[in-house]
Amino acid sequence: MPSMLPARQFSPLRLADVLASSLSSVLGRPNPLGLGPASKAVVVLADGLGVSSLRARAGHARFLNSLLTKTSVVDGVFPSTTAAGIATLTTGVPPGQHGLVGYRVFDAERDRVVNQLTGWDAGMQPEIWQRQRTVFQQATDAGVPGFAIGPRRYAASGFTQAVLRGARYVSAESLADRFAAARHLLDTEPRALVYLYVPELDVAAHAQGWESARWLAELETLDGALARFAGGLRADEGLLVTADHGIVDVPSTRQVLFDTVPELVANVRHIGGDPRCVQLYLEPGLGGDSAQALADAWSDVEGARAWVFTREDAIRAGLFGEIAAEVRPRIGDVIVAARKLVAYYDSRESNQSARSMVGQHGSLTDEELRVPLIRSGAFSN
């Protein structure tokens, strides 16, 4: 059976270009985004802020929507998940190069699946597993100080060490405090590259959905904070606002317990990825057609609700970008990416807490993949 990859046209601008172009602007160099020169650049990443959700709530985010045009929309990365997206932003390369190819990823050396946000340990060292130098390290090489502003709980995490190497982490709990910290850096540094992380929308969406009152309140708060911050930018200060992925709401009635269908887990040793982008890792030593056989079984059962393809299909299609040899086994032998409003779970897992999530992401739909790229200050069009 042929693979079931979606036919889609990816945007010419990439999430990988955003922070890298900001540094180029500070250095007075040409860049893929066409940003003009600026002494200081601020990149705000609003976790989970997809274009479709932003447009659907335009009246509650008037500042952002006033700057949202057809040319201010970019595709994030596949899988459309935080670990892959932020790593691509901060390294300037696709997941196939930096190595964070999903939410839960296969560690072949230790025969296990590891959470890329919270599962770092002595066996998975951030500075080795994440293979690329960051844009902040490149900034340091060029004499430009880099800063990352976010809640204190992320300051010393393994993920922070993996993707924010070279940046000085500035802890600030509230959204207002984070923007105040950014303003202070702009006021005190002659040149600077500043990354500001906003987790509130993603947290609210996972808990209650992007259509909830809580998510809407967080959007209004962010929009107001951005409007005030942008209004105070000086002529040599540029601002970009983007996201790592969008989000969809999946009701509990649309959860699929795939392990209850034996042929969908036949010869599967490990299960990784996200509920909307499952990555299946086969037992070692199987025949060369085993991955295609499993993909065919999934296509027969779930083909109306998901795109099903093998690792080789994904690599040929360029979904992970160029693939480094050591990253290749981290990608599932078979990948199941939801195209309908469903989420896939393994009911055999001891921890079923993830099934309480409403907001979901990871797949290839426009709602999950397309994110804003809002320009302000020196970066205005």
What six digits make up the tokens of 150?
Answer: 């976010």
Q: What is the pLDDT of residue 8?
A: 63
Query: Please, what is the average pLDDT of the chain?
Result: 96
Residue 3, pLDDT above cutoff 80: no
Residue-by-residue DSSP string for 68-131: --GGGEEE--SS-SHHHHHHHHHHSS-HHHH---SSEEEEGGGTEEEETTT---TTS-HHHHS-
Q: How many CA atoms lie within 13 A of 320 on its CB side?
A: 27
Mean pLDDT of 204-227: 98
Alpha carbon separation from 365 to 50, 244, 369 (Å, rounded):
11, 14, 6
Name the pLDDT band for 71 (thresholds 50, 70, 90).
confident
272, 112 Cβ separation under 8 angstroms: no
Closest residue by Cα to residue 161 from 116, 221, 211:
116
CA distance 353 to 336: 21
- Angle CA 237–242–246, to nearest 5: 170
Residue 14, pLDDT above cutoff 60: yes
pTM of the model: 0.97
Residues in a beta bridge with 25:
none
CA distance 243 to 44: 8
CA distance 51 to 28: 30
Mean pLDDT of 187-206: 98
What six digits make up the tokens of 254?
Answer: 């649309």
Name the pLDDT band for 180 (thresholds 50, 70, 90).
very high
pLDDT digits (tens, 9 = 90+) for 336-375: 999 999 999 999 998 899 999 999 999 999 999 999 999 9
What six digits make up the tokens of 130?
Answer: 């994440």
Q: What is the pLDDT of residue 287?
A: 82
CB proximity list for 1: less than 8 A, separation 6 or greater:
292, 295, 296, 299, 300
* b/e sequence 336-346, b meaning 16+ C-beta within 10 Å: bbbbebbbbbb
Q: How many helices (H) and strands (E) does the chain have?
A: 14, 18
Q: What is the pLDDT of residue 11?
A: 75
pLDDT digits (tens, 9 = 90+) for 92-115: 999 999 999 999 999 999 999 999
Q: What is the pLDDT of residue 232?
A: 98
Q: What is the pLDDT of residue 6?
A: 73
Which domains are present in the chain? 16-105+121-248+364-377 (3.40.720.10), 252-358 (3.30.1360.180)
Residue 12, pLDDT above cutoff 90: no
CA distance 91 to 143: 18
Q: What is the pLDDT of residue 288?
A: 82
CA distance 337 to 305: 9
100, 119 Cβ separation under 8 angstroms: no
190, 26 Cβ separation under 8 angstroms: no
Residue 1, pLDDT above cutoff 70: no
Residue 136, pLDDT above cutoff 70: yes
What six digits make up the tokens of 180?
Answer: 């105040």
